[in-house]
Amino acid sequence: MTPPLRIAILAPISWRTPPRHYGPWEAVASSLAEGLVKRGVDVTLFATADSRTAGRLVATAPRPFSEDPSLDPKVWECLHIARAFEHGAAGEFDLLHNHFDFLPLSYSALVPGLPVVTTIHGFSSEAILPVYQRYSGCPGHHYVAISQADRHPSLRYAATIHHGIPPLPFSPEHRGYLLFFGRIHPDKGTADAIALARAAGLPLRIAGIIQDEAYFEREVAPLLEPGRVDYLGPVGPDQRAGLLGGAIALLHLIHFDEPFGLSVAEALWCGTPVIAHRRGSMPELIREGESGFLVEEGAATPKLVALLAQAARLDRRAVRASARHRFSVERMVDDYLNLYRRILGQAPDPGEASGHSINKN
């Protein structure tokens, strides 16, 4: 009998894995880890001590540093990453899957022979590129992009694999409000969502962490009005499905090239269409006229209001169907398992898989 694959998942420690409310990278790491366990993979999850997994949890940081300001992020990040590579040096797993950004790459050469897959969850700035460029194409290093749009031309990739999310309940009817769901920041277009909702004469619910306090106080707080523009704060897993599913549409009027957009995939899972700016990965996620609409930044308000009316008439079952396979955990796990086995020499290179992965260049 072939022994099970032994895969280590290195999650960030800014938030718990899975997160209590916010934490997109941790959410993906958790979904993948739990999906792999269900497939019989021997999974070791490196995460905070309060994390939850059906695999084996190895923790250094007692709590997420974004929830406990007494923890110095760099101290605990270094200890956390070092612990993972120490276990790797001891031969405890076949492959380390890094969801922690660029820092673990600087440890990787210290454990020769340990394959490292790094899912690049986006680039915080061009300043971090030298680390990725240093290890790009080196033996044992394999980069995964989370969308075609987020591939950087200077890097070599083993695959593009879209995120998968756990299934969310279908909402056949909306409850008469628009939704902004994401971090409160100029990049995410919170103020744009308020302006569009007011122009359409529809109530707006806003959910997410406040990442830019000055922006919130200047552009959002003065426009809050109970029953018309409501800020709900961060919303946990127990509330998000009902909130997403009840919306006429998710407003995702971003002002940056977003690498993926978990809230977009979650809304589509619920049957809720999305109105988004045509930037970054949005054309890969939204099927125009079927699951939502894409608009250019600066589009006239009357056009946006008209698109909202069209979105309200879309077949919500078709919206869900367009996302059900593309953004499922099962599809994501399939794609990563194919990649792991190819890297470990257990499967031939299949070329493009599922329309989402295995691009080598």
The superfamily in CATH containing domain 177-324 is Glycogen Phosphorylase B; (3.40.50.2000)
Does domain 6-164+328-343 sit in CATH 1.10.760.10?
no
Identify the three-state secondary structure at position 178: strand
Domain-by-domain residue ranges, the chain?
6-164+328-343, 177-324
Fill in the DSSP letter of residue 41: -
- Average pLDDT rounded to a whole number, residues 190-216: 97
Q: Do domains 6-164+328-343 and 177-324 have the same CATH topology?
A: yes
Nearest alpha-carbon partner for 286 in 268, 303, 298 = 268
323-337 pLDDT tens trace: 999 999 999 999 999
Provide the residue type at 265 as one letter. A
Bond from prior residue into 18 cis (ω within 30 degrees of 0): yes
Strand order in the sheet with 229-231: 229-231, 204-207, 177-181, 247-252, 274-277, 292-295
Please tell me the predicted confidence (pLDDT) of residue 337: 98
Provide the residue type at 177 as one letter. Y
Question: What confidence category does residue 64 fall into, taking pLDDT thresholds of 50, 70 and 90?
Answer: very high
Instruction: Please tell me the least confidently modeled range out of 63-77, 212-226, 231-245.
Output: 231-245
Question: What confidence category does residue 359 fall into, taking pLDDT thresholds of 50, 70 and 90?
Answer: very low
Percent of residues, the chain, with pLDDT higher than 90: 92
pLDDT exceeds cutoff 80 at 348: no
Please tell me the predicted confidence (pLDDT) of residue 1: 66
Question: What confidence category does residue 72 fall into, taking pLDDT thresholds of 50, 70 and 90?
Answer: very high
- Average pLDDT rounded to a whole number, residues 222-226: 97
Please tell me the predicted confidence (pLDDT) of residue 177: 98
**Partner residues linked to 143 by β-bridges:** 118
Identify the three-state secondary structure at position 116: strand
pLDDT exceeds cutoff 50 at 358: no
Query: Could you tell me the pTM of the whole model?
Result: 0.93
Please tell me the predicted confidence (pLDDT) of residue 2: 75
Radius of gyration for the alpha carbons in the chain, expressed in angstroms and rounded = 21
